[in-house]
């Protein structure tokens, strides 16, 4: 198998084995989840990133479409200590460069120490270290991807009906939504209007939805200006909910602010404490930006490790958001009741009381 | 009440047994430290002296007393504890706590059960209750029916869907009395035994889910309701084999995220429903039914720390016992610091970025007659764990760590036998059988069909075989990368094997006709570096020095030096540092006592400001706790891998004396490896040459002759003819054994030429490179064990132990007493002289164990003579017993002496106890059907207890209680003196012996062994003295107390004479002793 090269922003070039050839670039990040590679690779929030798995063996239980979170692979490249044939075949079909046989723990600890960094990948017969460096040089910082929403969002609005009676109407703004968010809402009897990331205020207002729900998505929340505007306009009139990037967009809309983190949270073991109940739950996370000022909102949940805001809310404004992924897939199901809370809010009840 | 005011009673698990090994020493020791941090006053009780947890400094009061309700009630009266923590002492601790509650003792003295409530324990132990609780929260359980009589068997089987079905006995240890059966007769027999063993007279018949994947989840919950999963563990062997008998991998490999999350949800629901506080283990069966997440059943819940939780702690770095103890004291998970990262808390789920493999170790070599087919009942004594970046690397490291050589000779096994007897039938050899099958060209599907093992695993077994096969063609790097050591690669490519403990080497490849040298290989393959076990897969900077090695990717070839070799190692290369090599998996002849010695060595070095690193691979132990040492290297114990540690950590010395035979065995190859690499690192203590001299029969004999020390006549034979001639010269009976053996393996007393021939043909096979030793059998001699520390000039005697059993019973299986009860001052003085001479002449620096036999003790007219049987310049299995009985920490003193201090510098003094301390052994016959339940020259015991009291009789009685075969005060007894070992029943001595027992018991006799056996089975016999094997096997099954030697029968009479004395318990801190020198 031919060698492959990873050129890192800190100047190092790391040799690896080519599993799927190609040249690409992206922000180097890592996830510590040891299961859920199918879900992670199809998570739109990994758009424009090179995903390193800290668990060394990836692809062990095969690849099944029913476990996908979207209709394609989103990271620009996949990096693991060892990838199985099955996962390699899938990535090859998707045209995603993949490399293994490198010290991924060293990569992970580098990212931990130096922060998420740009990287270039060159893999295949003709791959050279120089080619990887060229990719690196062309790699944009994450916040510069102004068009990232367009690449992960649905182009046209669509409506999905639950089986049985409709208990609420949800306007789900797709900034790169994982399939499980829509599924979790449908399972609870919500009619889901899946809307493009840049949907305008009038369209949403005309839908008559009971709640505006900003989804997760890749990159810097500040690039999702339309969604932020939507919240600014509709908050107070309608309940608002958000997950991950959605929380950040909502916070920015309500006088708060967000910032890029050193290397983010990516994994399925992030402990979050509910400040009211005192209970700690394990959560799935995948974000590189965080809310540093909640604005008009209250912080209701915090990360046990670094105290970052994990849940925001306002009874008065009818807002409830999560930084982590209550829809799981991959990861723990500990917080699925968030969707019940959102639907309560949609029905005019106050889940916070 | 604040924690500072509370007195907490912590109950240990007693002796090492099959199903209950060192893991509870580890969890108990960790809990003691956690409770101390909370400020509580800790009272600890455990009958096992070989443990770290019973060290006087571990708790405020330490009681080495029987774990019986009587003894513990007495301790409660004296110490007035506020609470008892039951979940840290295994099944033993739980059972005795439940009994104390049932008897009203806890209520009477107002003792709270802390942590998980007793109701929960009942709900998990009573399978019907458990199933009801599971059904009530909608969790699927295998169909099952509980019965209390054999007449209900057929209906029950019909209800669970027919045979095969599983029989399970409630309230037993390690699945005793349980198994999968597909035959009705077998089923009836299993039920009969199960009904008898069960504490509540019930057994359960369960739906067989054979072939499903068996998984365990380690769960933690605090009283506030926060729950987390510490890790999951996947058994490579499918359902149907006890998890303690299975090869186990962490984390799971073949379960998709959704399946994992659904079982995680179930685990959390279960732990909440049951109200567990602390650690808990939940077992699941899972299979892929085509849905995204698969299908599962909840199989079992253990509401306590366990062998699996010890494994999970070591596999993840999450200290389950410590957190359990703190949760029991009322702390919340997010309030407990994660000591490994130092910046996170106990409220998180560890992330793993490596693969952990655990392989059990079975006592196959000790029990020729036992069938080691693996089932739902445990037969293994211990286990080894390994960490690697791939499954293959982890597996091969684990195989080296078990130090197990397959009992099968594949050249004599045809395809049919391989398939049926080794692949389809699970046995200890199965891993090797799979390698053999791939080597023979079997395809993967065929092996999967026969073994039921998932393809993912088998594919990787296949890669191992392929790499081994390709190595001779010059592809060293692949073999190295897959997980073989450089020395193994040398052997694979046609060189010899000059290390110890290989993982798997196809037989024909281990020839020594040349090939590339280890230097050539080293230059051509990627080197190993160290990675941290940090609980978080690198997400946070960890502070705890817990490491494993892994090969670098193939792009980085050649040996690493300095920082490159160190990898993530954070050791102070400028400070003086020493590596203590541990003892590997627990096995018969090498138990927790060597972990005790290793830990003491480490503590002793650290006290003196020397950095102490540990190399060991036993996940059950204190030595592999992350805060025992300055650097914990979870590695196989081979010369190459220990030298790697020495090189990377820049260690100044290595101590090999403390880990038993495992560490001593690498002395020669390690010395060679250190020289080959030119490392500035010394094997400390007694020289490797002196260790060899002590093992070399002829050179040792010559030395003893020079020193005028008596030895039993004997010699070495390398052929049958030589052996027969030698035996006749010495005179029958003679003691025969192979040289270089562990725990008296294959040792026998032989009475005639015929017996000797049979022994040679069947048991050992004699050859020039495998000599056997033949010695005069010193009948009627009193055997002694002496443990001492020497610094090259001075000698400190730790203690002199007198064996209760006479010669002919392996010293490791004999009860013994400190101080000796039958030796006069002159004999003791001679003993001292002999030990001192040997210590000095061998140049002993560190520990020395000398085994002696004294003749003429019981005959006033005979001359007394002290013979030397053996001298071993290293730690012995009696070191912790000696230290507990005398209060002198000889392992610590030895480490300090080895590091360069003198006994005079240390101002160390000897101490002689005023009370008698009896060590008694625990035998595994109940777990190993068809084993010979009589004591003999081959060691069979798995563990030990200590009983201390003012007189020998009381101490012996206590020790029997602690073992769990108490001597009844009255009842019906059989005193059958028909065997040669007893005095003739018609002689005066024989008559007297029977009459003395008749003072306590109604004696009955039987015409036939069959009648004798039947009476035992019917519960008519309470006490037995006999060597009739058949009836004794029945006595084992029926848990009837028996003694199989004249010596133990006499000791029993001493115990019976003291039955009037009230039970007295005393903390070890209060044992009376006087400062005096032994034999001076």
Nearest to B347 among A38, A64, A304 (CB): A304
Q: Could you please report the per-residue DSSP string of B843-865? A: T-EEEEEEEEEEESSS-TTSPPE
Residues of B in contact with A15 (CB under 8 A): 553, 555
Closest to B410 measured CA to CA, from B399, B419, B401: B419
How many CB atoms neighbour CB B140 within 10 A?
A: 14
Report the distance separating Cα B999 and Cα B992, nearest Å: 11
Ramachandran bin of B158, using left for φ above 0, alpha for ψ from -120 to 50, beta for the remaining angles:
alpha
Domains of chain B, with CATH numbers?
3-114 (3.40.50.20), 143-207 (3.30.1490.20), 213-352 (3.30.470.20), 358-524 (1.10.1030.10), 685-712+778-965+1071-1080 (3.30.470.20), 713-776 (3.30.1490.20), 970-1058 (3.40.50.1380)
> Does A174 lie in the same domain as A155?
yes
Interchain proximity B536–A32, CB inside 8 Å: yes
End-to-end Cα distance, chain B: 52
Q: What is the DSSP letter of B611?
A: E
Q: Could you please report the per-residue DSSP string of B282-300? A: EEEEEE--SSSS-EEEEEE
> What residue in A sits closest to B457 (Cα-Cα)?
A60
Nearest to A61 among B256, B344, B355 (CB): B256
Nearest to A269 among B224, B348, B531 (CB): B348
Chain A, 67 to 96: residues with Cβ < 8 Å from chain B are 67, 81-82
Residue A225 lies in a domain: yes
Backbone dihedral angles phi then psi of residue B428, each to the nearest 5 degrees: -55, -30
How many CB atoms neighbour CB A202 within 10 A?
A: 9
Query: Which of A140, A159, A187 is at the close of a domain?
Result: A140
Chain A, 34 to 53: residues with Cβ < 8 Å from chain B are 34-36, 38-39
> What residue in A sits closest to B232 (Cα-Cα)?
A34
Instruction: Check CB contact of B337 with chain A, cutoff 8 Å.
Output: no
Q: Which of A244, A265, A310, A344 is catalytic?
A: A244
Report the distance separating Cα B618 and Cα B380, nearest Å: 14
Report the distance separating Cα B170 and Cα B147, nearest Å: 11
Nearest to A64 among B292, B332, B540 (CB): B292
Q: Which of A81, A145, A265, A325 is catalytic?
A: A325
Q: Closest approach of chain A CAs to the CA of B469, in angstroms?
A: 20
Q: Closest approach of chain B CAs to the CA of A145, in angstroms?
A: 26
> Does A86 lie in the same domain as A180?
no
Chain A, 204 to 223: residues with Cβ < 8 Å from chain B are none
> Does A196 lie in the same domain as A94?
no
> What residue in B sits closest to A271 (Cα-Cα)?
B348
Distances (CA, A) of B847 to A273, B606, B697, B895: 53, 19, 20, 9
Backbone dihedral angles phi then psi of residue B714, each to the nearest 5 degrees: 170, -175
Residues of B in contact with A326 (CB under 8 A): none
Instruction: Check CB contact of B220 with chain A, cutoff 8 Å.
Output: no
Select the more confidently predicted residue: B119 or A319. Answer: A319
> Does A105 lie in the same domain as A161?
no
Interchain proximity B537–A55, CB inside 8 Å: yes
Report the distance separating Cα B267 and Cα B298, nearest Å: 9
pLDDT tens figures, B337-380 = 888 777 788 888 999 999 999 999 999 988 888 899 998 889 99
> Does A187 lie in the same domain as A293?
yes
Interchain proximity A271–B347, CB inside 8 Å: yes
**ipTM of the shown complex:** 0.95
A101 is catalytic: no
pLDDT at B768: 66
Structure tokens at B25: 């020493």
Q: Closest approach of chain A CAs to the CA of B473, in angstroms?
A: 19
> Does A129 lie in the same domain as A14?
yes
Residue A352 lies in a domain: no
Residues of A in contact with B225 (CB under 8 A): 279
Residue A74 lies in a domain: yes
Report the distance separating Cα B241 and Cα B208, nearest Å: 12
> Does A176 lie in the same domain as A118?
no
Interchain proximity A112–B540, CB inside 8 Å: yes
State which residues form the domain around A103. 3-140
Residue A351 lies in a domain: no
pLDDT at B746: 63
Structure tokens at A319: 């807002």
A244 is catalytic: yes
> What residue in A sits closest to B223 (Cα-Cα)?
A279
Interchain proximity A30–B538, CB inside 8 Å: yes
Residue A353 lies in a domain: no
Instruction: Check CB contact of A30 with chain B, cutoff 8 Å.
Output: yes
> Does A157 lie in the same domain as A124?
no
Q: Exposed, middle or buried: residue A186 (CB in 10 Å: 0-12, 13-18, 19+)? A: middle
> Does A158 lie in the same domain as A45?
no
Q: What is the DSSP letter of B553?
A: P
> Does A66 lie in the same domain as A89?
yes
Structure tokens at B981: 């070992």
Residue A307 lies in a domain: yes
pLDDT at B178: 74
Instruction: List, for chain B, all residue ranges whose pLDDT scores fall below the cut of 70.
Output: 1-4, 170-177, 507-514, 561-562, 739-746, 763-769
Q: What is the mean pLDDT of chain A?
A: 96
Q: The domain spanning residue A134 has which CATH number? A: 3.50.30.20
Q: Closest approach of chain A CAs to the CA of B463, in angstroms?
A: 13
The 3-class secondary structure across B895-938, one letter per residue, is HHHHCCCCHHHHCCCCCEECCEEEEEEECCHHHCCCCCCCCCCC
Quickly tell me which residue has 């933690």 as its tokens. B220
What is the percent of chain A where pLDDT is above 90? 96
What is the distance, to the nearest Å, from the Cα of residue B483 to the centroid of all Cα atoms in its chain? 26
> Does A279 lie in the same domain as A154?
yes
Q: What is the DSSP letter of B984?
A: P
Closest to B170 measured CA to CA, from B300, B46, B283: B300
Instruction: Check CB contact of A304 with chain B, cutoff 8 Å.
Output: yes
> Does A189 lie in the same domain as A132?
no
Residues of A in contact with B553 (CB under 8 A): 15-17, 101-103
pLDDT at B738: 76
Q: Closest approach of chain B CAs to the CA of A206, in angstroms?
A: 38
Q: CB of B146 within 8 A of CB of B127?
A: yes
Is beta strand B1023-1025 parallel, antiparallel or unpaired with respect to A3-8? unpaired
Instruction: Check CB contact of A104 with chain B, cutoff 8 Å.
Output: yes
Instruction: Check CB contact of B118 with chain A, cutoff 8 Å.
Output: no
What is the distance, to the nearest Å, from the Cα of residue B211 to the centroid of all Cα atoms in its chain? 29
Report the distance separating Cα B232 and Cα B725, nearest Å: 60
Quickly tell me which residue has 């067989």 as its tokens. B208
Work out the average pLDDT over A197-209. 94
Quickly tell me which residue has 């020790």 as its tokens. B959
Q: The domain spanning residue A334 has which CATH number? A: 3.40.50.880
Query: Which of A114, A140, A166 is at the close of a domain?
Result: A140
Nearest to B456 among A3, A60, A108 (CB): A60
Interchain proximity A330–B261, CB inside 8 Å: yes
Q: CB of B489 within 8 A of CB of B522?
A: no
A119 is catalytic: no
Interchain proximity A331–B251, CB inside 8 Å: no
Report the distance separating Cα A26 and Cα A39, nearest Å: 19
Distances (CA, A) of B678 to B376, B466, B518, B682: 50, 33, 14, 11
Report the distance separating Cα B351 and Cα B225, nearest Å: 22
Instruction: Check CB contact of A315 with chain B, cutoff 8 Å.
Output: no
Report the distance separating Cα B629 and Cα B604, nearest Å: 11
Instruction: Check CB contact of B1010 with chain A, cutoff 8 Å.
Output: no
Q: Closest approach of chain B CAs to the CA of A201, in angstroms?
A: 37
Task: Go through chain A and tell me how many residues it has.
Answer: 353
Residue A7 lies in a domain: yes
pLDDT at A180: 97
Quickly tell me which residue has 């505006």 as its tokens. A212
Cis peptide before B733 (omega within 30 of 0): yes
Q: Exposed, middle or buried: residue B415 (CB in 10 Å: 0-12, 13-18, 19+)? A: exposed
Report the distance separating Cα B858 and Cα B848, nearest Å: 28
Find all residues with CB under 8 Å of B559, minimum gap 6, and list them: B522, B523, B527, B565
Q: Which of A27, A39, A48, A327 is catalytic?
A: A327
Q: What is the DSSP letter of B438?
A: H
pLDDT tens figures, B385-427 = 999 999 999 999 999 999 998 878 898 999 999 999 999 999 9
Instruction: Check CB contact of A327 with chain B, cutoff 8 Å.
Output: no
Interchain proximity A271–B539, CB inside 8 Å: no
Residue A242 lies in a domain: yes
pLDDT at B743: 47
Report the distance separating Cα A160 and Cα A204, nearest Å: 16
Chain B, 554 to 583: residues with Cβ < 8 Å from chain A are 554-555, 568
pLDDT at B566: 75
Query: Which of A140, A175, A201 is at the close of a domain?
Result: A140
Interchain proximity B253–A57, CB inside 8 Å: yes
pLDDT at B257: 96
Helices B988-998 + B1046-1056 axis angle, to 10? 40
- The number of distinct structural domains making up chain A is 2
Report the distance separating Cα A343 and Cα A349, nearest Å: 9
């Amino acid at each position: 198998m031919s060698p492959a090269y990873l050129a890192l922003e800190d100047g190092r070039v790391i040799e690896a084995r080519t599993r799927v050839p190609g040249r690409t670039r992206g922000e180097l990040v890592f996830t510590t989840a040891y299961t859920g590679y199918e879900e992670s690779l199809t998570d739109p929030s990994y758009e424009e990133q090179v995903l390193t798995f800290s668990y060394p063996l990836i692809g062990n239980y095969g690849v099944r479409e029913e476990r996908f979170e979207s209709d394609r692979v989103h990271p620009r490249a996949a990096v693991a200590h060892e990838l199985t044939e099955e996962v390699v075949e899938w990535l090859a079909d998707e045209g995603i460069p993949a490399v293994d046989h490198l010290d991924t723990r060293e990569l992970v600890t580098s990212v931990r120490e130096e922060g998420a960094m740009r990287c270039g990948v060159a893999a295949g017969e003709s791959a050279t270290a120089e080619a990887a460096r060229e990719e690196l040089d062309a790699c944009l910082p994450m916040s510069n991807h102004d068009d990232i929403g367009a690449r992960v969002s649905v182009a046209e609005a669509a409506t999905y009906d639950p089986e049985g009676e409709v208990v609420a109407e949800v306007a789900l703004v797709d900034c790169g939504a994982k399939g499980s968010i829509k599924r979790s809402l449908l399972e609870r009897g919500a009619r889901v209007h899946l809307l493009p990331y840049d949907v305008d205020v009038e369209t949403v207002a005309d839908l008559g939805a009971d709640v505006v729900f900003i989804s997760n998505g890749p990159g810097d929340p500040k690039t999702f200006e339309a969604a932020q505007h939507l919240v600014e306009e509709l908050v107070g009139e309608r309940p608002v909910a958000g997950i991950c990037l959605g929380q950040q967009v909502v916070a920015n809309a309500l006088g708060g602010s967000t910032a890029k983190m050193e290397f983010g949270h990516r994994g399925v073991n992030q402990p979050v404490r509910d400040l009211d109940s005192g209970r700690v739950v394990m959560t799935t996370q995948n974000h590189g930006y965080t809310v540093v000022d909640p604005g008009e909102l209250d912080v209701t949940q915090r990360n046990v490790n670094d105290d970052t805001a994990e849940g925001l809310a306002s009874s008065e404004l009818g807002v409830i958001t999560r930084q982590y992924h209550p829809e799981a897939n991959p990861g723990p199901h500990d917080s699925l009741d968030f969707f019940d809370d959102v639907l309560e809010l949609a029905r005019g009840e106050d889940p916070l009381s | 009440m604040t924690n500072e005011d509370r007195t907490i009673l912590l109950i240990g698990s007693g002796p090492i047994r099959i199903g209950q090994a060192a893991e509870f020493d580890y969890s108990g020791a960790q809990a003691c430290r956690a409770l101390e941090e909370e400020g509580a006053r800790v009272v600890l009780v455990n009958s096992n002296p070989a443990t770290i947890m019973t060290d006087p400094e571990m708790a405020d009061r330490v009681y080495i007393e029987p774990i019986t309700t009587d003894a513990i009630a007495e301790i409660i009266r004296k110490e007035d504890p506020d609470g008892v923590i039951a979940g840290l002492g295994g099944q033993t601790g739980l059972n005795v706590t439940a009994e104390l509650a049932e008897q009203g003792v806890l209520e009477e003295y107002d003792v709270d059960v802390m942590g998980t409530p007793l109701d929960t324990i009942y709900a998990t132990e009573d399978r019907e209750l458990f199933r009801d609780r599971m059904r009530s929260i909608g969790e699927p359980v295998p169909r099952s029916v509980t019965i209390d009589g054999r007449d209900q068997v057929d209906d029950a089987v019909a209800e669970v869907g027919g045979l095969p079905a599983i029989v399970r006995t409630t309230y037993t240890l390690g699945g005793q009395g349980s198994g999968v059966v597909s035959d009705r007769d077998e089923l009836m027999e299993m039920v009969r035994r199960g009904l008898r063993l069960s504490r509540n007279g019930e057994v359960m018949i369960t739906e067989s889910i054979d072939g499903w994947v068996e998984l365990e989840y380690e769960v933690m919950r605090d009283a506030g309701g926060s729950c987390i999963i510490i890790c999951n563990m996947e058994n490579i062997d499918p359902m149907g084999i006890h998890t303690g008998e299975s090869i186990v991998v962490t984390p799971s490999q073949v379960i998709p995220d959704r399946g994992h999350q659904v079982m995680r949800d179930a685990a959390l629901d279960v732990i909440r429903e049951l109200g567990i506080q602390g650690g808990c283990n939940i077992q699941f069966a899972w299979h892929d039914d085509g849905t995204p997440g698969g299908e599962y059943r909840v199989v079992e819940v253990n509401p306590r720390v366990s062998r699996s939780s010890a494994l999970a702690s070591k596999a993840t770095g999450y200290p389950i016992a410590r957190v359990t103890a703190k949760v029991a004291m009322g702390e919340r998970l997010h309030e407990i610091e994660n000591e490994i990262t130092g910046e996170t808390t106990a409220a998180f789920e560890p992330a793993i970025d490596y693969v952990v493999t655990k392989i059990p170790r079975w006592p196959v070599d000790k029990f020729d007659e036992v069938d080691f087919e693996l089932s739902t009942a445990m037969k293994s004594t211990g286990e080894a764990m390994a960490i690697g970046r791939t499954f293959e690397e982890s597996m091969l490291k684990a195989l080296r760590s078990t130090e197990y050589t397959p009992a099968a000779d594949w050249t004599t096994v045809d395809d049919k036998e391989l398939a049926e007897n080794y692949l389809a039938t699970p046995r200890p050899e199965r891993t090797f059988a799979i390698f053999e099958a791939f080597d023979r060209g079997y395809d993967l599907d065929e092996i999967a069909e026969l073994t039921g093992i998932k393809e993912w695993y088998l594919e990787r077994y296949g890669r191992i075989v392929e790499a081994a096969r390709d190595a001779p063609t010059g592809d060293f790097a692949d073999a190295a990368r897959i997980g073989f050591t450089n020395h193994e690669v040398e052997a694979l490519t046609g060189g010899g094997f000059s290390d110890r403990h290989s993982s798997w080497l196809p037989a024909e490849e281990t020839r020594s006709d040349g090939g590339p040298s280890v230097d050539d290989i080293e230059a051509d393959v990627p080197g190993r570096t160290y990675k941290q076990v940090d609980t978080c897969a690198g997400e946070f900077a960890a502070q705890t020095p817990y490491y494993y090695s892994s090969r670098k990717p193939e792009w980085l070839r050649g040996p690493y030096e300095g920082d490159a070799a160190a990898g993530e190692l954070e050791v102070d290369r400028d400070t003086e540092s020493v590596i203590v090599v541990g003892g590997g998996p627990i096995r018969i002849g090498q138990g927790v006592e060597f972990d005790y010695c290793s830990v003491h060595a480490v503590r002793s070095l650290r006290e003196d400001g020397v950095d102490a690193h540990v190399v060991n691979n036993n996940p059950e132990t204190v030595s592999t706790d992350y805060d025992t040492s300055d650097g914990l290297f979870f590695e196989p114990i081979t010369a190459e891998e220990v030298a790697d540690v020495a090189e990377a950590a820049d260690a100044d010395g290595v101590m090999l004396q403390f880990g038993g035979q495992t560490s001593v065995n690498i002395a020669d190859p390690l010395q060679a490896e250190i020289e080959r690499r030119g490392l500035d690192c010394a094997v400390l203590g007694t020289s490797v040459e002196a260790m060899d001299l002590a093992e070399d029969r002829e050179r040792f004999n010559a030395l003893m002759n020079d020193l005028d020390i008596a030895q039993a006549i004997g010699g070495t034979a390398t052929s049958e003819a030589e052996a027969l001639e030698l035996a006749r010269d010495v005179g029958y009976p003679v003691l025969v054994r192979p040289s270089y053996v562990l725990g008296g393996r294959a040792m026998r007393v032989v009475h005639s030429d015929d017996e000797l021939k049979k022994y040679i043909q069947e048991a050992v096979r004699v050859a020039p490179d495998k000599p056997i030793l033949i010695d005069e059998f010193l009948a009627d001699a009193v055997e002694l064990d002496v443990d001492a520390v020497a610094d090259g000039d001075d000698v400190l005697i730790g203690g002199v132990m007198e064996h209760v059993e006479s010669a002919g019973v392996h010293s490791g299986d004999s009860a013994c007493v400190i101080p000796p009860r039958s030796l006069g001052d002159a004999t003791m003085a001679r003993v001292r002289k002999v030990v001192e001479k040997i210590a000095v002449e061998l140049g002993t620096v560190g520990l020395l164990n000398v085994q002696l036999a004294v003749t003429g003790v019981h005959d006033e007219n005979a001359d007394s003579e002290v013979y030397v049987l053996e001298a071993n310049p290293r730690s012995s299995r009696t070191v912790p017993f000696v230290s507990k009985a005398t209060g002198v920490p000889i392992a610590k003193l030895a480490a300090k002496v080895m590091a360069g201090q003198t006994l005079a510098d240390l101002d160390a003094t000897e101490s002689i106890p005023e009370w008698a301390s009896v060590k008694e052994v625990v035998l595994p016959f109940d777990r190993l059907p068809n084993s010979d339940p009589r004591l003999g020259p081959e060691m069979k015991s798995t563990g030990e207890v200590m009983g201390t009291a003012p007189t020998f009789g009381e101490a012996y009685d206590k020790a029997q209680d602690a073992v769990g075969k108490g001597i009844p005060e009255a009842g019906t007894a059989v005193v059958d003196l028909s065997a040669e070992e007893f005095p003739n029943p018609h002689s005066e001595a024989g008559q007297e012996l029977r009459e003395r027992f008749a003072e306590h018991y109604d004696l009955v006799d039987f015409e036939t062994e069959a009648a004798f056996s039947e009476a035992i089975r019917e519960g008519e016999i309470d006490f037995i003295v006999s060597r009739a094997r058949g009836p004794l096997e029945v006595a084992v099954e029926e848990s009837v107390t028996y003694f199989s030697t004249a010596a133990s029968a006499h000791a029993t009479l001493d115990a019976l004479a003291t039955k009037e004395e009230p039970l007295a318990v005393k903390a070890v801190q209060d044992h009376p002793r006087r400062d005096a020198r032994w034999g001076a």
